[in-house]
Structure 1
Amino acid sequence: MSDIFAASDATWPAAAVHRAGAFLVREGQGGGQRVSSATAEAVWDAADLDAAEAMQRDLGQRLLFMVRPGDEALDAALEARGYRVVDPVNIYAAPVAELLAEVPPLSAFTIWPPLAIMRDLWAEGGIGPGRLAVMARAEGPKTTVLGRVNDRAAGTAFVAIHRETAMMHALQVVPEQRRQGSAVKMMRKAAAWAQDHGAERFLVLVTAANAEANALYSSLGMRIVGQYHYRSKEP
């Protein structure tokens, strides 16, 4: 699992990272929970937890920890401190080769940097400047995907590669253009781009509560290979 979380950090990077005892505290600057959370990177104790909380307060961020497989003791300690579970996440994976299929002409494009219409589509879905800044920070091969349906822009997503792993982030499809196959075509196009850039594995992260997205990834033959969740409380 460590390689999956390394790929996540590399393809959706925080603005900065800070050490607080045994914890790594990410500075998100509006980029969302993943880049604003703390994770245990070594054997920890209560003083390390105190240090991580203090660092997050100093950064002006809410108290937020990512609880990964093997973090059962941390999960219990956070619960004892009054933290609540937030957004359980499923990790889906598939070999890039299994996602490849012919995509109709003009139905999906890979573009970097993103076009203004793509930024507008993300904004409509609540993906604003903070998350666009995350995309800009990502190093290595990266692209955005534009989907088209009925001669209009229907969706967009961001894809980046870390070593042999491609990860898709921020998939957004216009509500009135959903259920017309655009997301599938975008995934296929992203997989083709990933293969062209040397990736062998394709990953996506999605909240367990997002039934539509979970159904999409399952329909493409992607499998859940891990899960994690957050715990949070106000500073």
Structure 2
Amino acid sequence: MTPETLFAAIDATWPAAAKRAVGPWVLRHGAGGGKRVSAATAQALPQRADIAAAEAEMGQYGQDPLFMIRPEDAELDQMLAARGYHVLDPTNVYCTPVARLTDKPVPRVTAFCIWEPLAIMEEIWAQGGIGPERLAVMARAGAKTGILARWNEKPAGAAFASLHETICMVHAVEILPEQRRQGVAQWVMRAAAFWAQKHGATHIAVLCTQANTAANALYSSLGFEIVGQYHYRHKTAQGI
């Protein structure tokens, strides 16, 4: 599984409200849906004038200048640093074969694959800062499901999964604070894997900021491997 394939799956399963190619860029209109759907990415090494043009275009969207920096974007990273951009959210891209997470059945009444989301799922996501704009991102995705977790006979967490070709990307994993450190997230990921397997996926992937030590430890313990990394370069202008 190549990084390029994974980044294509990220784009497809968490889609921007609009995107278009302009010069060396893919520019995204996030409509308030967060950094991933608002960041510009480079298709070729830009010049200074290209950066200024991208900044102006993002300003028209009412977005701060924001660029996603992947491993191949080292020169762009230096150019943006020189322009006063700071690093934001270094992130690991994890992937593993679906079969690695379907070796154990999910216990009964522990995790349910549901779409459209139930009100309780929206409430759980809202507690983690995942509001209507990000729900709109989910609605734009193609083949998808929500996952509702229960533990101790109570709602415990929610997540979103979507397919791109043979990859299932899991996004918006949110476990309620009182239900954490009890293995709930493991069952969420396993439920996503069984759903993915049923729909023909061979691999399952998830994103995790490097600062989230608990989640990184979880994904490593489940057999996920880091297959890519990225961070953002951001400069405050108008408020994203």
- In the TM superposition, 1:28-47 aligns within 5 A as 28-47=30-49
How many residue pairs get aligned? The number is 234
Matched, 1:127 2:126: no
Secondary structure of the equivalent of 1:35?
coil
1:42 Cα shift? 2.2
| Deviation digits for residues 37-81 of structure 1 (CA, Å, limit 9, x no counterpart) | 000012321111111111011110011000001101000000000
Q: Percent identity?
A: 57
Secondary structure of the equivalent of 1:205?
strand
Gaps of 5+ in 2: none
Matched, 1:109 2:112: yes
Alpha-carbon contact 1:38-1:66 (below 8 Å) kept: yes
| Deviation digits for residues 184-227 of structure 1 (CA, Å, limit 9, x no counterpart) | 11111110000000000110001000111101101101111111
The corresponding residue for 2:193 is 191
Secondary structure of the equivalent of 1:190?
helix
Secondary structure of the equivalent of 2:71?
coil
Q: What residue identity is the alignment partner of 1:84?
A: H
1:24 Cα shift? 1.1
Secondary structure of the equivalent of 1:31?
coil
Alpha-carbon contact 2:41-2:68 (below 8 Å) kept: yes
The corresponding residue for 1:223 is 225
Alpha-carbon contact 1:157-1:172 (below 8 Å) kept: yes
Q: What residue identity is the alignment partner of 1:201?
A: H
The corresponding residue for 1:98 is 100
Q: d(CA) in 2 for partners of 1:172 and 1:12?
A: 16
Q: d(CA) in 2 for partners of 1:119 and 1:138?
A: 17
Secondary structure of the equivalent of 2:53?
helix
2:212 aligned to which of 210, 213, 235: 210
Matched, 1:53 2:55: yes
The corresponding residue for 1:143 is 145
Secondary structure of the equivalent of 1:34?
coil
Secondary structure of the equivalent of 1:209?
coil
Q: What residue identity is the alignment partner of 2:41?
A: T
Alpha-carbon contact 1:23-1:49 (below 8 Å) kept: no
Alpha-carbon contact 2:45-2:76 (below 8 Å) kept: no
RMSD over equivalenced CA pairs, Å: 0.8
Alpha-carbon contact 1:21-1:52 (below 8 Å) kept: no
1:172 Cα shift? 0.2
The corresponding residue for 2:5 is 3
Secondary structure of the equivalent of 1:56?
helix
The corresponding residue for 2:121 is 118
Alpha-carbon contact 2:59-2:65 (below 8 Å) kept: yes
Q: What residue identity is the alignment partner of 1:47?
A: A
